[in-house]
Each structure stands twice: as structure tokens, then as C-alpha cells.
Homo-oligomer: A and B are copies of this chain.
Amino acid sequence: MWEKALDRILSQLMVRDQLRVRFPDGQTRIYGPNTGETASLEIADIAALRALCVNPSLGLGEGFMNGTLTFNERGLEDSLVLLLRNREAGQLPAWLRAAHHMRYHARNFIQRNNPIRSRQNVAHHYDISDDLYRLFLDADMQYSCAYFTDPDMSLEAAQEAKKAHIGRKLRIEPGCHVLDIGCGWGGMALTLARDFDARVTGITLSENQLKTAQRRAEEAGLSDRVTFKLEDYRHIRGTFDRIVSVGMLEHVGVPNYGTYFQRVNELLSPDGIALIHTIGRSAPPMPHDPWINKYIFPGGYVPSLSELAGPLEQAKLWQSDIEVWRLHYARTLRHWRSRFETHRDQVLAMYDDRFVRMFQYYFTVCIIAFEHQMQAVYHFQLAHERNAVPVTRGYLYSGNVQGEG
């Protein structure tokens, strides 16, 4: 039965390239035209075969993690790119298209992300272990897209460039009070305090990140100017001259965008500036990858501009600039994956083989999303006043900024 179902899927899907499949019973079948390229997939057991048929995106990732799906000839990345290319040209059977639509329309339910759920979601990924993240992130532990003003610059330099670019966009003056929503391990907050002389309040929902961030502030002698709190963006009180939020909106969920931008409105001082950095899709909305949702970011979602623009406008904030980073995240992820591979033995000392493959799969599907699908990073610079920032963007590119001149 499941052989037949996969047969039907692949017959409709493979219209550009060839896929050679070895089924659990030892049989091999070939799908797609001879004219394209070839990938080959080995399915070790019926469970993996069934999972592929029921929910291909989820089944592919789980099979790879479990070691029951193996891509021979080409590696994981090339094989997934080939499958994606055929998916864009080919067709999926009706039952899978229906499931895709259902997932999309369930997003308002799935992404409710109330404060309790948000904390669980955050703990799922960010509380794994600092030691693991240290093995693949840069020294400052920036777990978000870096900014490659030069394609050959190091990950460390590109993360520095990201923080500097955001600092310029925020036009921080000494003594400014900055709120960092989703402060991670505190790198952005410490940088803004050290390099821009700001006072910073950073909030996170991860106890792990909080502890590390607090320790780092003490070590850097910045505890008098930087405060970290375990707090939800819905509960924080006060008024801030600047608000920065990097890689946090992805966890907010579509039903909460209105609340999120309304909070930015309320928390931002009348002449303040906010900078929201988020992954987005330069394409119509679609459901989040079910494997990523299950294993990496529960409650997460990559919004399209059309989903953000309405809630943004309702918050009555000026969108004073919208930057769209293409390819920077693919480069960042390639650095992370390569560092992860380099430290594979150390990861294996902490976790098992399945965990290693989970991270390999995670990095790889994300690279593909930024290189072959229409995923990007959006920078929304927001303000109450139309002249909170200069009327041209020259101020972002003045001086001897590397690669920007």
C-alpha cells in the first residue's frame, strides 16, 4: 500500500530530474525524465516509507534523523535542492495539497503562543545547552543573521557588522535607554552599552540565556548599565528611547502580530526609534515547515510582508525604512553548519547521532530556504515621528564602514 502511495507522489512530482528509490523490500524504481540530474534515496523500513507518504516534509526530516532515509550519490543538500526544484515544477497529489492548505489555515490556532506556551517554545530550543551553541556560533553568541558587507569576511566580523549596522539605524545617543526584546545571550545589549554608551534592558524567556547574559554583563563590568530580565514582551512596563528586537518576531505568531507592534508603539518614547529584525518571505504566505515546527521552533513562523503590513499600520508607527537582506542568512548558516561539522565529535560527546543529524538537517533546510526559496531578513525601522530619522539614508553609509563605502 505505502509503496503505491509513494509511487503516485513521485510520479507526479519528478518532472525535471531523476530520482532512484530503493524501497524497504529491496526493489528499485526510477522516477522522472532521463534528461535532468539524478538523486537516489534509500528507504530502510516501512515506518519511514509511511511517514514520507503521510507528510513528506516531516517524513523526510524524521527519516534522515533516524537514519532510515539515506541520500546516496549526492549529499543531503544537493538532493533536497533537486527535490525542491521538481516540487516547484511538478504537482503533489490532492491529499497532500489538502493537508498543506489545512496546515496553513490552522496557523491562527497553532501559533496562539500565549505567555505560557511562549516560554515552553523558547525552552524547547534555547535552553538546550550553552555549550552546544558555543560550538557553532561566533564568540559573541549571536544566534541570528549576520551582515556580510564583504562576502569573504569571517562570521565574527559579520556579526560585528550586523550589530554596528543596527546601532546606526537606532541612532543611539549616550544615555539612551534601549529595550532589547528577545535579548538572547546578551550580545546585542552588551555591544550597545559598550560601543554606543546606552543603558539597556534586555528581556528573554529563556532562563538559560538569562543566566549567561547576566554573567557576561558582570564580567564585562557593564552591570550598572545593562539589566536582563526573564520577561514576556506583553508584560514589560516603561518607556524606552529605543527598541531593538532581533530574531524574536519569528516566535510571536500571526495571531499576535497586532499585539506585538502595539506593544512597540506603547513602549517607545515619542521621539524614539525601533528596529525589528526578522526572517520573512518575499512571497505569498505559506505554512511553516512541519519538521522545523516539530523539532526546532515550536510555534515559530516565517511571515510574509502582507501579513506584517496590516498589524504594523494598525500600530500607527512610521515605517521609516524597510531593508531586505538576501543571502546573508544563507552565508551565516553555512558558517554555523561548517563549525558544527568541525566540532562533531564534541557534539557527539554530549548528544547522540540522531541529535547531530537533526542539527545537520536543520541547517541544511534553512540554507535552502534562503538560497532557493524566497526567504529573506527584513529590517523594519519604526518611529512615532516622521522625522525621527534623517530624510535620506546616507547616515547609514557614511564614514569608513567596511564594504559600505
Contacts and interface: CB of A to CB of B under 8 A. Distances in A.
Interface in A377-405: 386-387, 391-394, 396-398, 401, 403-405
Contacts of A392: 147, 149, 403-404
A284 B314 contact: yes
B305 A313 contact: yes
A309 B320 contact: no
Given A284-B314, A318-B326, A397 B391 contact: no
Given A309-B305, A312-B305, A327 B397 contact: no
A322 interface: yes
Given A320-B324, A386-B326, A148 B403 contact: no
B284 A386 contact: no
A173 interface: no
Contact of A310 (B306, B325, B387): B306
Contact of A393 (B282, B285, B316, B393): B393
A261 B318 CA distance: 24
A391 B304 contact: no
B283 A316 contact: yes
A396 B312 CA distance: 27
Contact of A309 (B304, B326, B405): B304
Contact of A306 (B313, B321, B394): B313
Nearest to A307: B309
A328 interface: yes
Copies in the complex: 2
A318 B374 contact: yes
Interface residues of A, number: 46
B149 A327 contact: no
Contacts of A326: 318, 320, 386-387, 391
A387 B151 CA distance: 13
Contacts of A312: 305-306
Interface in A144-198: 147-149, 151
A309 B313 CA distance: 12
Interface in A352-390: 374, 376, 386-387
- Interface core residue of A149, A317, A393, A398 (most chain B CB under 10 Å): A393
Contacts of A397: 393-394, 396-398, 404
B386 A394 contact: no
Contacts of A308: 309
A313 B324 contact: no
14 contacts: A149-B394, A282-B318, A284-B314, A285-B313, A316-B374, A318-B326, A320-B326, A322-B322, A322-B324, A326-B386, A327-B387, A392-B403, A393-B396, A394-B403
Given A318-B326, A321-B323, A393-B393, 11 more contacts: A147-B392, A151-B391, A282-B317, A282-B318, A283-B316, A308-B309, A316-B374, A321-B324, A323-B393, A325-B391, A394-B403
Top 5 closest pairs, chain A to chain B, by CB = A394-B404, A397-B397, A322-B322, A306-B309, A305-B309
